[in-house]
Amino acid sequence: MRRVAITGLGSLSALGNDVAAHLAGLKAGTVGIGQTQGVDVSSMKTRISAEVKGFKPEEHFEPRQLGLIDRTSQFAVTVARQALADAGPALEGAARHRVGAIFAASVGFHAVDDSYHKLYFDKAPRPHPFTVPRAMPSGQVSHVTMDLGIHGPSFSIASACSSASHSIGTAFHMIRSGMLDVAVAGGGESQLTYGMLKSWEALRVLSADGCRPFSKDRNGLVIGEGAGAIVLEEMDRAIARGARIHAELIGFGMSADGMDITAPDMASAAASMRFALEDAGLAPEAVDYVSAHGTATALNDKTETAALRLVFGAHLGKLPVSSSKSQYGHTMNASGALDCVTTVLALREGFLPPTMGFTTPDPDCDLDCVPNEARAAAPQIALSSSFAFGGLNAVLALKRYQG
């Protein structure tokens, strides 16, 4: 099987609008969560979120494009551009049918919210004429292919909060098997609209005062927005063209709980981690760091910890497990991509991202969660986990690249 290199990174999050800002925020323990500014939340109990700040669409897109592209797709295109620029001439010399793009599927929530407002509140006779293409779940990958000139296999994957991880893992398998030579993969999402914030509030899983994964006093997740993208490339090709290789993607595991639409299953989460290790040809003891799903809901963190115990046994006692959602919120369908970028940076730069907001140890979450500040380290092997509503799980195994 062919090896797969990661040669490009792109990110947009509450920590900053590019990878350099994201990395600086991770290392500094910056928390990008604060009072929501882009939506009137005065009628809500939950008034905090992790917003992307200072993003001006007109600086990234021509006026004629703005009527066709939702905020989610704007984010996706922006990070895809970043990742491809970072990868250098990754597409030069590649056969057009052997370059693909695989991104998370996500509804254009801003387009939908705007249209409903026009119809129901303003009593307009019709919504925006491009509401359908702006809102369609395949919108972001469509815009990425058009923007970057990609003509090979390209599509969206919908698995809620595992969507971006499934997208990256699928691209990895397509390169490893020989179907593709280069792929841009990831996901973007912005659910920061009045309608979606009220909907999440109705589900009673939001925190009103912060994201504290694995802490005993955790009380819910914080909605974030953003996007992440990586360029994946066949290893020999990347080496031959002198590309900078950020890390190597070595395994991908998937599972389905088959049980409940919202409650996670310990055994199934553990299975997806085991499958990623098997795919990579690794023993559990080889893992040096886990970037956890870690949403800070009571049940998710407890279940994830139990799944980690099943997989790692005694090794869990010396295995750092942190959740960067404590810094940039839960970006939903984009979260796996941002968490993957975060994990790649940890391997490349030699540090462990922190779990911010941690206050009180929980006996049900007895982990080394790297509390409240980043830690110098030299992880060689890491997992990046995503466990979604509907019980759809995806885990990526990554390796530090040493030439």
Contact, 257 vs 393, CB < 8 A? yes
Give backbone dihedrals phi and psi of 47, rounded to 5 degrees, phi first: -120, 10
Cα separation values, 12 from 248, 264, 310, Å = 22, 28, 34
> Among 330, 340, 365, 369, which one carries the catalytic annotation?
330
Q: Give the C-alpha separation, 213 to 322, whole Å.
A: 8
292: helix, coil or strand? coil
The Cα–Cα gap between 319 and 321 comes to 6
With CA atoms as reference, report the closest residue to 84 among 156, 19, 164: 19
Active site residue 151: no
- Which one of 110, 143, 293, 365 is the catalytic residue? 293
Q: Give DSSP secondary structure letters for 88-123.
A: -STTTT--GGGEEEEEE----HHHHHHHHIIIIIS-
Q: What is the CA radius of gyration of the chain?
A: 20
CA dihedral 63, 69, 71, 75 (to 10 degrees): -90
Q: Is 293 a catalytic residue?
A: yes
Q: What are phi and psi of 333, to 5 degrees?
A: -65, -20
Catalytic one among 22, 110, 143, 161?
161
Rounded distance, CA 139 to CA 129, Å? 15
Q: Does the annotation count 97 as an active-site position?
A: no
* Residues acting as catalytic residues: 161, 293, 330
